[in-house]
């Protein structure tokens, strides 16, 4: 009470969030570019705010989006409803969904705060190919090639 007030210089001097901060979500990829999400919808069931919508679809050998039998065809997170609790991350069996430290999510319209799969997917890094992939060999649930 007897200290001088601290003035933050935001946004000129951005402050790093604390370790373990729950920020914006990201859908991760395997090293070959395939999506880790297998469309199991466990994240949507675990969400107490009902902010996640997932629609799974079957993978085909000619067009494979994830190493599993299914993939998340539609994946949306409504940040107007999300409470950033992290239960969706804990429910994910493939660690496809993680939370970053990004906290600047302000937008001018409500429709811009419903993030689609394309907005949530991690960017492709060098050496990755954009899905869908054609596969000759089978892959197991975790993306390991099986003979």
For the chain, domain boundaries = 25-117
Taking 50 as the threshold, does the pLDDT of residue 61 lie above it? yes
One DSSP character per residue, the chain reads: --SPPPPP-TTTSPPPPPTT----EEE-B-TTS-BS-----HHHHH-TT--EEEEEEE--SSSBSSSSSEEEEEEEEETTT-----HHHHH-TT--EEE-S------SSGGGGEE-HHHHBPPPPTT--PSPB--SSEE-TTS-EE-
Taking 60 as the threshold, does the pLDDT of residue 146 lie above it? no
pLDDT tens profile 128-145: 888 887 764 445 545 555
pLDDT tens profile 92-110: 999 999 999 999 898 999 9
Which of the listed CATH numbers 3.30.470.10, 3.30.70.3270, 3.40.50.150, 3.40.30.10 matches domain 25-117? 3.30.70.3270
Whole-structure pTM value: 0.81
């Amino acid at each position: 009470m007897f200290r001088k007030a601290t003035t933050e210089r935001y946004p000129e001097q951005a402050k790093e969030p604390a370790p373990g901060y729950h920020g914006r979500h990201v859908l991760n990829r395997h090293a070959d570019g395939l999506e880790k999400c297998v469309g199991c919808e466990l994240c949507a069931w675990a969400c107490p705010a009902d902010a996640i919508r997932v629609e799974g679809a079957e993978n085909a050998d000619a067009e494979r989006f994830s190493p599993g039998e299914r993939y998340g065809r539609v994946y949306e997170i409504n940040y107007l409803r999300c409470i950033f609790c992290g239960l969706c991350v804990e429910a994910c069996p493939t660690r496809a969904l993680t939370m970053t430290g990004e906290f600047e999510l302000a937008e001018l319209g409500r429709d811009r705060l419903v993030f689609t799969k394309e907005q949530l997917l991690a960017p492709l890094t060098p050496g990755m190919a954009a899905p869908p992939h054609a596969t000759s060999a089978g892959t197991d649930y975790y993306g390991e090639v099986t003979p």
